């Protein structure tokens, strides 16, 4: 996920999914079986389906992409192929931020030392980590530029939480939150909006200080809504739930790239950064997880409530020059209108339950391959 395309900054998308038993809808610990079946899918390369923390989860990642059309094609390919592999093992691939149904028995942790260590450290929190996100990797020239851009991306992360909300149901009940995944992730020691950073030295000092406490085992456990990747030369946005459909994922990927590109541009130009207090961003992120875009959001410029459509509109205006440069303006603006008018994944999940109960919800979040 490194480098730049001729027409702009490259990007890649990672998606995490739940495996649900096809008969009961409960989490199914069949990740190894799905990976083995995926290896037989002709359109999947070796290792394209990866492990996650729990054995009822899998993760996929696109190759480096230069544009949103490529992101869309790769996501459709991956979802269809992995969905087919899941069916071969008697389960369904579910695109939801949180498990809507639970079993009394804990889902087994993946047999890797890192994950086993996490189970030792966090006990029941790991048992309940049946949550899935979408991570947008945007290429940055170097860590100094990335850290400066991160400081400018930071105020808008609660808006991305709201737009990407897709986990209202948990343990058979409506949580009352649009993104329950955000709440569950918030129980880890390092989560939520990152602190302001103006340069790489500041960023590294903040991360090193966290590791030095001994509370987390390493830099990969810095679970901020956005961070500099330790594996790739990218800024990684982790604020959103995995999306119900590819179209929504592409909208958020385009928006994510544009906000990073805008941050890079502002930092290079020396434009003063918007720097809301961390306490305000924490409250704004909680509120975004609670309501999605179905209530006011916190305006990051004024620190006051404003209509969700107005705050999303302000973000769109902020990133429009970057969107226009990459030819994404019409597509992302249209996708945001759809999320505001047609509803986020959370709103659509609730509509499904009202119309047909849990069976309708399962059909929505785990559609047959080829319908994504």
Of 125, 100, 112, nearest in space to 180 by CA: 100
Q: Which residue has the higher pLDDT, 192 or 1?
A: 192
- For residues 338-365, average pLDDT: 97
Residues of the chain with pLDDT > 70, as a percent, come to 97
Q: Which residues pair with 241 in a beta bridge?
A: 133
Of 222, 188, 192, nearest in space to 205 by CA: 222
What integer pLDDT is reported at residue 372 of this predicted model? 61
- For residues 10-20, average pLDDT: 98
Predicted TM-score (pTM) of the model is: 0.96
- Of 3-7, 34-38, 166-170, 253-257, the range with the lowest mean pLDDT is 3-7
Residues of the chain with pLDDT > 90, as a percent, come to 92
CA distance linking residue 224 with residue 207, whole number of Å: 11
> Hey, what CATH class is 4-365 in?
alpha beta
pLDDT exceeds cutoff 60 at 272: yes
pLDDT exceeds cutoff 70 at 308: yes
pLDDT exceeds cutoff 50 at 5: no
The residue extents of the domains of the chain are 4-365
**How many C-beta atoms surround the C-beta of residue 325 within 10 A?**
15
CA distance linking residue 131 with residue 128, whole number of Å: 8
- For residues 34-44, average pLDDT: 89
The rounded Cα 176 to chain-centroid distance in angstroms is 20
Q: Residues 285-298: pLDDT tens digits?
A: 999 999 999 999 99
């Amino acid at each position: 996920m490194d480098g730049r395309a001729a027409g702009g900054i490259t990007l890649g998308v990672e998606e995490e999914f739940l495996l649900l038993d096809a008969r009961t809808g409960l989490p199914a610990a069949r990740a190894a079986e799905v990976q083995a079946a995926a290896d037989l899918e002709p359109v999947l390369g070796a290792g394209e389906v990866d492990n996650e923390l729990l054995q009822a989860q899998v993760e996929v990642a696109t190759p480096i992409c230069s544009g949103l059309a490529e992101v869309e094609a790769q996501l459709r390919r991956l979802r269809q192929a992995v969905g087919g592999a899941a069916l071969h093992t008697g389960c369904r691939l579910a695109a939801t931020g949180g498990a809507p149904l639970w079993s009394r028995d804990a889902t087994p942790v993946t047999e890797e030392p890192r994950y086993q260590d996490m189970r030792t450290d966090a006990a029941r929190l790991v048992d309940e980590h049946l949550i899935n996100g979408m991570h947008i990797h945007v290429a940055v020239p170097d860590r100094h530029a990335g850290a400066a851009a991160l400081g400018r991306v930071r105020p808008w992360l609660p808006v991305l939480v709201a737009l990407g909300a897709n986990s209202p149901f948990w343990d058979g009940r409506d949580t009352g939150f649009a993104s329950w995944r955000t709440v569950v992730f918030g129980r880890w020691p390092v989560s939520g909006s990152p602190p302001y950073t103006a340069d790489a030295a500041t960023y590294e000092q903040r991360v090193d200080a966290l590791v030095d406490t001994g509370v987390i085992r390493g830099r990969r456990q810095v679970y901020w809504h956005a961070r500099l990747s330790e594996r790739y030369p990218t800024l990684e946005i982790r604020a959103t739930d995995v999306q119900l459909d590819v179209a929504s994922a592409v909208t958020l990927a385009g928006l994510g790239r544009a906000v990073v590109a805008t941050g890079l541009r502002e930092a290079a130009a020396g434009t003063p950064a918007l720097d809301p207090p961390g306490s305000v961003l924490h409250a704004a992120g909680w509120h975004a997880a609670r309501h999605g875009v179905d209530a006011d959001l916190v305006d990051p410029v004024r620190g006051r409530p404003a209509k969700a459509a107005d705050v999303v509109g302000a973000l769109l205006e902020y990133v429009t020059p970057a969107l226009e440069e990459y030819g994404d303006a019409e597509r992302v603006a249209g996708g945001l209108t759809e999320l505001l008018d047609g509803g986020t994944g959370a709103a659509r999940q609730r509509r499904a339950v009202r119309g047909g109960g849990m069976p309708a919800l399962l059909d929505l979040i785990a559609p047959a391959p080829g319908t994504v």
